[in-house]
């Protein structure tokens, strides 16, 4: 863009000329801009004060970018606007529409100013359009990034919500897994489970996969790792709720789950774990009787 | 620096220090194998709570220690593997085969009590 400035300066209006022109007609163009936006219905949900303030800031930011050739300010403002826009329910259509309108308004003004001389107009537009395009792409990207950030946050939240390790009784935990299991989730789930084992001093864990729709060799390996990690922490694992389809898949892909105790449903799983704990309790020295 | 260990009834408890070197690991092996005889030791508890890394060498040595101790007629329990250490170990495919792993010393002592009671019967 800077090269463009140097190349075209001698033949037509310079960047400085454009900037001073746009600042001269600032108030006029802003009024025109707001009118256009209102006519297109782009200002719904905004108070007149907000419209006034935002339009001034946007106008000046755009001219600022043209003047300095730097886009930090536009970037910062776009990010901020995307965050606020998403929060206050302003649609990207509204904001992009507003900016496209502003782009047109600037352009019309340039036509009025330099339209008489074809060559000058061409240079002015070349200078101006690259800046305008850059600003538009910055804003569009800011919106996409903001959406992505929110999607990511929500995924994190869902992940955390979806891996609770519940204590059923002393020494017995239950971990219901619901939904698809991927590497990141399996790791997070294992970490959480191990921390809970340490905190609650659990010796048996029932992992229930009734809510897992499908399983592949990767997921099966994650489960094996989870079971091994639990046994390193001194807890035995019983896997419950494997559907007939998943059982068939496991056999077909040839994953060896023989290290893991598996039972049909959660009830069997809890009974099995109770048996382990019960055997341990009965082998211990009897508790002192109170009477 | 020697490896400190504690005597508790007929058991030995070895709390490993965070900065334990490979040489000391090997030293531990000989030390425990020697000590188990003649002192009426029925069980050894190796506490790895302080270790934030357990690599393949440590795994193998711990397995060897346990095997040597078993040959001397005592049981070995490893306690205090931290959650992230456990995850790292399974991801690297490491395991301490043939060795009991438990949550902490208390669990280990309870288990050893049972094991020795069964043996005495």
B36: containing domain: 6-120
Which residues in chain B have their CB less than 8 angstroms from residue A232's CB? 81, 86, 89-90, 95-96, 101
Residue A171 CB burial class (10 angstroms; 0-12, 13-18, ≥19):
buried
Domain holding B82: CATH number? 3.30.750.24
User: How large a percentage of chain A has pLDDT more than 70?
Assistant: 88
* Per-residue tokens: A134: 């850059």
Domains annotated on chain A, with CATH: 2-157 (1.10.490), 166-283 (3.30.750.24)
Q: Which residue has the higher pLDDT, A63 or A2?
A: A63
Cβ <8 Å between B90 and A195: no
Number of folded domains in chain B?
1
Query: What pLDDT was estimated at residue A237?
Result: 93
The 3-state DSSP class for residue B78 equals: strand
Query: What pLDDT was estimated at residue A1?
Result: 47
Q: What angle do CA A95, A97, A100 make, to 5 degrees?
A: 110
Cβ <8 Å between B83 and A229: yes
Q: In chain A, which among 176-235 make CB contacts under 8 A with chain B?
A: 187, 190-191, 194-195, 197-198, 201, 203, 225-226, 228-235
Task: Indicate the angle between helix axes A217-232 and B83-91, nearest 10 degrees.
Answer: 140
Quickly state the pLDDT bin for B20 (edges 50, 70, 90).
confident
Quickly state the pLDDT bin for A162 (edges 50, 70, 90).
low
Query: What pLDDT was estimated at residue A282?
Result: 47
Query: Per residue in B51-96, pLDDT tens?
Result: 888 888 888 888 888 888 888 888 899 999 999 899 888 888 887 7
Query: What pLDDT was estimated at residue B63?
Result: 87
Quickly state the pLDDT bin for B47 (edges 50, 70, 90).
very high
Check pLDDT > 50 for residue A155. Answer: yes
User: How large a percentage of chain A has pLDDT more than 90?
Assistant: 14
Quickly state the pLDDT bin for A175 (edges 50, 70, 90).
very high
Can you tell me the mean pLDDT for B4-10?
85
Query: Per residue in A185-239, pLDDT tens?
Result: 888 888 889 999 999 999 999 999 988 888 888 888 888 889 999 999 999 999 9
- Whether B1 is covered by a domain: the verdict is no
CB pairs under 8 A between A and B: 57
Query: Per residue in A76-102, pLDDT tens?
Result: 887 877 777 655 666 777 778 888 888
- Whether B68 is covered by a domain: the verdict is yes
At CB < 8 Å, which residues of chain B contact A?
79, 81-84, 86-87, 89-91, 95-96, 101-104, 107, 110, 113-114
The 3-state DSSP class for residue B5 equals: coil
**Rounded-to-integer distance, Cα A203 and Cα B103, Å:** 8
Query: What pLDDT was estimated at residue A160?
Result: 66
Quickly state the pLDDT bin for A8 (edges 50, 70, 90).
very low
Phi-psi region of B73 (alpha: psi -120 to 50; beta: other; left: phi over 0): left
Query: What pLDDT was estimated at residue A52?
Result: 80
Mean pLDDT of chain A: 82
**Rounded-to-integer distance, Cα A181 and Cα A209, Å:** 10
| DSSP assignment of chain A | -HHHHHHHTTTS--HHHHHHHHHHTHHHHHHHHHHHHHHHTTTTT--HHHHHHHHHHHHHHHHHHHHHS--HHHHHHHHHHHHHHHHHT--HHHHHHHHHHHHHHHHHHHHHHHTTSHHHHHHHHHHHHHHHHHHHHHHHHHHHHHHHHHHHHHHHHHHHHT-PPEEEETTEEEEEEES---HHHHHHHHHHHHHHHHHHT-SEEEEEEEE-----HHHHHHHHHHHHHHHHTT-EEEEE---HHHHHHHHHHT---TTSEEESSHHHHHHHHHHHHHHHHHHSPPPPP--
Select from B54, B77, B90, B116 the residue whose CB has the most chain A CBs within 10 Å, as the one to mutate to test that interface: B90
Check pLDDT > 80 for residue A265. Answer: yes
Check pLDDT > 60 for residue A285. Answer: no
* Per-residue tokens: A84: 């606020």
């Amino acid at each position: 863009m800077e090269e463009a400035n140097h190349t075209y300066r001698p033949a037509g209006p310079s960047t400085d000329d454009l900037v001073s022109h746009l600042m001269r007609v600032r108030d006029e163009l802003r009024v025109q801009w707001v009118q256009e936006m209102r006519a297109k219905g782009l200002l719904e949900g905004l108070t007149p004060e907000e419209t006034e303030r935002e339009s001034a800031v946007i106008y000046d930011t755009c001219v600022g970018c043209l003047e300095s050739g730097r886009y930090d300010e536009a970037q910062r403002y776009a990010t901020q606007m995307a965050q606020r826009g998403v929060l206050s329910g302003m649609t990207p259509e509204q904001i992009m529409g507003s900016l496209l309108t502003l782009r047109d308004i600037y352009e019309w003004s340039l036509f009025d100013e330099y339209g008489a001389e074809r060559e000058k107009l061409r240079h002015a537009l070349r200078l101006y359009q690259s800046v305008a395009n850059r600003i538009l792409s910055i804003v569009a990207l800011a919106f996409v990034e903001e959406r992505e950030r929110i999607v990511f946050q929500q995924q994190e939240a869902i992940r955390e919500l979806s891996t609770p390790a519940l204590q059923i009784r002393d020494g017995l935990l239950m971990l219901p897994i619901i939904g698809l299991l991927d590497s990141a989730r399996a790791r997070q789930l294992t970490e959480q489970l191990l921390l809970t084992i340490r905190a609650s001093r659990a010796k048996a864990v029932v992992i229930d996969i009734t809510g897992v729709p499908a399983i592949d060799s990767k997921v099966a390996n994650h489960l094996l790792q989870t079971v091994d990690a639990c046994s390193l922490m001194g807890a035995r694992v019983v896997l419950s709720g494997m559907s007939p389809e998943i059982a068939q898949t496991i056999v077909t892909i040839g994953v060896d789950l023989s290290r893991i105790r598996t039972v049909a449903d959660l009830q069997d799983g809890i009974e099995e774990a109770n048996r382990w704990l019960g055997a341990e309790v009965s082998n211990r020295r009897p508790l002192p009787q109170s009477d | 620096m020697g490896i400190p260990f504690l005597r508790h009834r007929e058991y030995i408890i070895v709390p490993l220090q965070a900065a334990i070197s490979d040489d000391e690991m090997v030293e531990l092996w000989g030390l425990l194998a020697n000590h188990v005889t003649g002192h009426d030791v029925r069980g050894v508890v190796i506490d790895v709570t302080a270790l934030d890394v357990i690599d393949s060498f440590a795994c193998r040595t711990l397995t060897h220690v346990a095997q040597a101790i078993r040959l001397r007629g005592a049981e070995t329990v490893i306690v205090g593997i931290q959650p992230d250490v456990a995850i790292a170990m399974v991801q690297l495919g490491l395991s301490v085969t043939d060795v009991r792993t438990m949550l902490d010393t208390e669990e280990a002592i309870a288990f050893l009590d049972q094991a020795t009671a069964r043996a005495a019967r």
